């Protein structure tokens, strides 16, 4: 309550304008584009600007939103983007680049905040790479150093154990796996770092579009593991950066 009373006191004493107070009390502000309300203060509030989820949007809509956001932010991300949407973005935002494997558009860049701390993105199979890349590109765009270790599923566990060095030195690990997701439990048991698990929809039959991997990861016998939604590479990258920064 002190927070509130403090502001109100300042207004009363003319130490703060009504406009300023109004802004603070609303906490944030946004821009109404008709079909969307852009949340320009999100960066202040949560540390990173609003990210554009491209699926279901027209190429022109994506381009417009990216353009607007790029006016206020040094780096803008758009996920689940097609090349067609990227081409439209290029018209208004020429410095945008397209991470094909990750299906992510990135406009602007951010410096790596601390080279000594890195996020390691591990994938079980080659088919999990698009989701792993979405995680890696997201975390890098937010300012984290990112290393990759792909195709180290537990059916050939030596591939994983041989790379224990890069695993041990990581600050956070993002582990991406489909099928039965056993990679997460093995990694979780090896390290004393937080492991962010990403189930993918890779698999067939009773994998039920990633449900098997999701349940497997939620029930891991290893400690120090938390899980994001199926195929949610972006969410994992974002979460890992929050830990890493």
Residues 98-117 that bind a second copy (CB under 8 A): none
Site string for a second copy, 195-214 (x = CB under 8 A): -x--x-xxxxxxxx-xxxxx
Q: 88 to each of 53, 59, 77, 109, how far by Cα in Å?
A: 15, 6, 15, 19
Q: Would you give the distance in Å from CA 190 to the centre of its chain? A: 24
Q: What is the smallest separation between the CB atom of 213 and a second copy, expressed in angstroms? A: 7
Q: What is the smallest separation between the CB atom of 147 and a second copy, expressed in angstroms? A: 15
Whichever of 90 and 215 has its CB closer to a second copy, that residue is 215
Separation CA 222–CA 142 (nearest Å): 28
The binder of a second copy chosen from 90, 108, 151, 169 (CB under 8 A) = 151
The binder of a second copy chosen from 75, 121, 129, 137 (CB under 8 A) = 129
DSSP-based three-state secondary structure for 136: helix
Cα four-point dihedral sign 238, 86, 40, 32: negative
8-67 residues in contact with a second copy (CB under 8 A) are 8-9, 11-12, 14, 18, 21-22, 25-30, 35-37, 39, 41-42, 45-48, 51, 53, 55-57
Whichever of 32 and 94 has its CB closer to a second copy, that residue is 32
Whichever of 107 and 149 has its CB closer to a second copy, that residue is 149
Separation CA 5–CA 153 (nearest Å): 56
212-241 residues in contact with a second copy (CB under 8 A) are 212-232, 235-236, 238-239
Whichever of 95 and 113 has its CB closer to a second copy, that residue is 113
Q: What is the smallest separation between the CB atom of 155 and a second copy, expressed in angstroms? A: 4
Q: Which of 69, 95, 99 is nearest to 81 (CA)?
A: 99
Cα four-point dihedral sign 175, 177, 180, 182: negative
Contact 164, 192 (CB under 8 A): no
Q: What is the smallest separation between the CB atom of 94 and a second copy, expressed in angstroms? A: 25
Contact 121, 174 (CB under 8 A): yes
């Amino acid at each position: 309550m002190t927070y509130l009373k403090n502001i109100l006191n300042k207004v009363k004493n003319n130490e703060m304008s009504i406009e300023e107070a109004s802004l603070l009390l609303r906490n944030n502000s946004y821009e109404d584009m008709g079909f969307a309300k852009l949340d320009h203060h999100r960066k202040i509030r949560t540390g990173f600007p609003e990210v554009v989820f491209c699926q279901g949007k027209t190429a022109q809509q994506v381009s417009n939103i990216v353009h607007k956001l790029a006016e206020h932010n040094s780096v803008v991300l758009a996920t689940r983007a097609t090349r067609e949407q990227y081409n439209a973005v290029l018209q208004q935002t020429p410095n945008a680049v397209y991470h094909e494997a990750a299906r992510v558009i990135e406009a602007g860049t951010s410096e790596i905040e601390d080279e000594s701390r890195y996020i390691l993105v591990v994938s079980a199979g080659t088919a999990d790479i698009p989701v792993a890349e979405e995680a890696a590109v997201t975390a890098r765009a937010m300012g984290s150093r990112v290393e990759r270790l792909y195709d180290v599923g537990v059916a050939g566990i030596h591939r994983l154990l041989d790379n224990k060095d890069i695993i041990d030195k990581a600050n956070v690990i993002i582990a991406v796996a489909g099928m039965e997701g056993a990679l997460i439990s093995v990694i979780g048991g090896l390290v004393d770092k937080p492991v962010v698990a990403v189930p993918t929809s890779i698999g067939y039959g009773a994998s039920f579009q990633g449900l098997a991997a999701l349940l497997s990861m939620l029930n891991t016998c290893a400690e120090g593991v938390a899980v994001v939604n199926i195929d949610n590479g972006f969410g994992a990258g974002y979460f890992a950066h929050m830990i890493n920064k």
